[in-house]
């Protein structure tokens, strides 16, 4: 920037100097005799080193943006020579390379449907920017290729296994409604013949070497979907930004639609045909559906009395009640003044569906929660024999259903015989199960042999209990039972014995190091280092002799607060 400023300043000084020189020269020439003239050579040349520049031309230089800069003439000549040499070697600037295999311009599909087979001719415009071989996709699916040409020259085709159509079917429009009405009328007459053919879908592609612009033409045949209830043709197409189509149907009065198309029209053409045309967006699916615009109802023959068919009364199948089989696992946890019940019932509903399951529990049991993946709601009803839990399922089920019930039953604080709180599943073929007993506190639990006499309950080893039950226990299971009939009306009893707790030491001093220093003022200072084992005591109390006081205390090197009592 400094060099450019100096050059502009010099030019300005030269212009000012030239202006004053011109003024003096003009005055000098006016004083010359009439016979004398200026000895200047060419126009604008005042001397060998001074040139005349009009102010209007110099003003245009200052008004230009950017104003430019001055360079020596030899530098300008060198740059000009290099530029001319570059243009001589490369007359045109090279185009930037596109890192793509190919790009489509547009695609046009023209087809004719005759005798449930459509023949299409597709034309693609595309470009290959790179100098390499590329694979160009062709229409694929359940199609048969007839001819493939590239720039009016026949070429070979590569066939591979079908990879499917990515875009799903679009929502069906008015054609689907017309087809349903047509099917309802046609069901009373002869339906379309079904050939039962099994199509084979493939992917097709061609190899093209670039660079260059090409025109690809493909002729292929597509069969109509072998379904008597719909008129449809589907195949996969390459994803092209612009697609146009024209399809002639072999029947007149038809309405057609193409998935993801715009501006689709259906016109009756010459020769009892229907022309369907429109534009498709960027997609890989070509699905054409059509149906008659109007429906002609077949004439119904008059039924005579002799042809009348007798009305047969339809026998209604007898609905049998459901059969329910229940298998239960009950964990009873004793301690802290109550019995905690954790129940899991596996129900097998057969023969017919069932939507409500009822459980009966003792009145003393408080229900905490009822859970199941198939449970919609539950309620508790008070009855004379106990409390009934009514479980409503979210559907009429005929399958396996699992239900979990949690409850609590209060106990007294004295030694007593306790009736085991169990549940009963109502309206079942059998109710088998297992019972496990655990203790949460220091109590002794023993079975009462007399209560087992008239019950279908047998004690078993706790290790023989099912995993579904033992996995729910948080402590060791002390007793295990298996029953074939639930002990509800005649309960199973257990003997609960509470033993007196023995007091134990909560804190203990293992070692003490004492250091005492006697002073001259009839005082002493004692430092005690104690190794203390503490088990649950929040405060450790220390008694000192009369006339003594504690100055400081620390626990694990951290100062501790001292409270005096």
Inter-residue long-range contacts of 253-256, CB under 8 Å, 24+ positions, other chains counted: 253/292, 253/293, 253/294, 254/290, 254/291, 254/292, 254/293, 255/174, 255/175, 255/178, 255/290, 255/291, 255/292, 255/293, 256/175, 256/288, 256/289, 256/290
Please report the pLDDT score of residue 80 as a whole number.
87
What is residue 40's predicted lDDT score, i.e. its pLDDT?
A: 43
Cα separations in angstroms, 227 against 2, 38, 206, 230, 311:
87, 109, 32, 6, 34
Longest Cα separation, the chain: 165
323-498: what fold? Immunoglobulin-like (2.60.40)
Is this model's pTM higher than 0.85 or not?
no
At CB < 8 A and 24+ separation, what contacts does 270-274 make? 273/248, 273/249, 274/248, 274/249
425: number of Cβ within 10 Å: 22
Q: Which of 342, 343, 374 is nearest to 357 (CA)?
A: 374
Fold of 103-190+199-292: Immunoglobulin-like (2.60.40)
pLDDT reported for residue 168:
84
Buried b (16+ CB within 10 A) or exposed e, 526-546: eeeeeeeeeeeeeeeeeeeee
What is the C-alpha to C-alpha distance for residues 563 and 542, in angstroms, rounded to an integer?
A: 10
pLDDT at residue 279, rounded to an integer: 92
- Enter the tokens of residue 210: 């670039």
Residue 416 pLDDT: 78
**Cα distances (angstroms) measured from residue 73 to each of 15, 364, 507:** 21, 115, 105
pLDDT 10s digit of each residue in the chain, 565 long?
444 444 455 556 666 566 655 555 554 444 444 444 444 444 566 666 676 767 776 666 666 666 566 778 888 888 888 888 877 776 665 556 667 888 888 899 999 998 889 999 999 999 998 888 999 999 999 999 999 999 999 999 999 988 888 888 877 777 777 767 766 666 555 455 555 567 788 999 999 998 899 999 999 999 988 777 778 899 999 999 889 999 998 888 888 888 888 888 888 776 788 889 999 988 999 999 888 887 665 555 555 555 555 655 556 667 788 899 999 999 999 888 888 999 999 999 998 888 899 999 988 899 999 999 888 889 999 888 889 999 998 888 888 999 999 999 888 777 778 888 888 898 888 888 899 999 888 788 888 877 676 677 888 888 888 888 888 888 888 888 888 887 777 778 888 887 776 666 678 888 999 999 988 888 888 898 988 888 777 778 888 888 888 888 888 888 888 877 7
Every domain of the chain with CATH number 2.60.40 lies at 103-190+199-292, 323-498
> Are the C-beta atoms of 438 and 475 separated by less than 8 Å?
yes
């Amino acid at each position: 920037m400094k060099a450019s400023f100096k050059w502009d300043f010099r030019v300005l000084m030269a212009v000012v100097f030239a202006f004053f020189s011109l003024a003096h020269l003009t005055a000098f020439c006016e004083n010359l005799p009439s016979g004398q003239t200026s000895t200047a050579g060419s126009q604008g040349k005042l001397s060998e080193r001074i040139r005349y520049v009009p102010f209007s031309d110099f003003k245009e230089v200052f008004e230009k943006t950017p104003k430019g800069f001055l360079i020596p003439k030899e530098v300008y000549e060198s740059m000009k020579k290099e530029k001319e040499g570059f243009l001589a070697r490369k007359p045109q600037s090279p185009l930037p390379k596109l890192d793509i295999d190919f790009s489509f311009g547009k695609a046009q599909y023209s087809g004719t449907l005759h005798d449930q087979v459509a023949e299409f001719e597709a034309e693609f415009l595309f470009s290959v920017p790179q100098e390499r071989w590329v694979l160009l996709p062709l229409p694929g699916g359940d199609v048969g290729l007839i001819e493939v040409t590239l720039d009016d020259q026949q070429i070979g085709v590569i066939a591979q296994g079908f990879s499917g159509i990515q875009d799903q079917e679009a929502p069906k429009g008015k054609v689907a409604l017309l087809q349903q009405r047509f099917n309802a009328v046609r069901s009373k007459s002869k339906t379309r013949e079904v050939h039962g053919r099994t199509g084979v879908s493939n992917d097709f592609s061609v190899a093209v070497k670039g660079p260059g612009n090409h025109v690809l033409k493909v002729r292929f045949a597509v069969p109509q979907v072998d379904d008597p209830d719909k008129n449809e043709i589907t195949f996969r197409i390459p994803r092209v930004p612009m697609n146009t189509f024209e399809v002639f149907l072999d029947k007149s009065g038809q309405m057609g639609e193409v998935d993801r198309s715009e501006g689709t029209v259906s016109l009756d053409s010459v020769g009892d045909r229907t022309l369907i045309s429109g534009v498709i967006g960027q997609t890989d699916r070509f699905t054409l559906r059509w149906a008659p615009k109007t429906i002609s109802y077949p004439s119904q023959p008059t039924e005579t009395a002799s042809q009348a068919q007798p009305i047969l009364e339809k026998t209604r199948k007898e609905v049998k009640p459901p059969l329910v089989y229940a298998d239960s696992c009950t964990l009873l946890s004793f301690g802290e003044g109550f019995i905690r019940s954790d129940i899991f019932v596996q129900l097998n509903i057969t023969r017919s569906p069932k939507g409500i399951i009822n459980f009966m529990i003792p009145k003393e049991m408080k229900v905490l929660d009822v859970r199941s993946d198939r449970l919609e709601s539950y309620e508790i009803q008070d009855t004379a024999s106990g409390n009934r839990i009514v479980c409503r399922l979210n559907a009429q089920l005929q399958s396996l259903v699992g239900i979990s019930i949690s409850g609590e039953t209060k106990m007294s604080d004295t030694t007593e015989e306790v009736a085991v709180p169990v549940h009963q599943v109502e309206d079942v073929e059998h109710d088998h199960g297992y019972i496990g007993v655990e203790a949460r506190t220091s109590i002794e639990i023993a079975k009462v042999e007399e209560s087992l006499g008239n019950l279908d309950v047998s004690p078993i080893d706790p290790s023989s209990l099912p995993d579904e039950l033992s996995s729910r226990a948080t402590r060791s299971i002390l007793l295990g039972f298996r029953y074939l009939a639930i002990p509800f009306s005649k309960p199973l009893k257990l003997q609960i014995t509470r033993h007196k707790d023995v007091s134990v030491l909560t804190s203990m001093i293992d070692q003490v190091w004492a250091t005492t220093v006697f002073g001259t003022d009839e005082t002493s200072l004692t430092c005690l280092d104690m190794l203390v084992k503490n088990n649950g005591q929040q405060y450790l109390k220390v008694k000192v002799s009369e006339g003594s006081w504690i100055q400081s205390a620390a626990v694990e090197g951290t100062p501790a607060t001292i409270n005096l009592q």
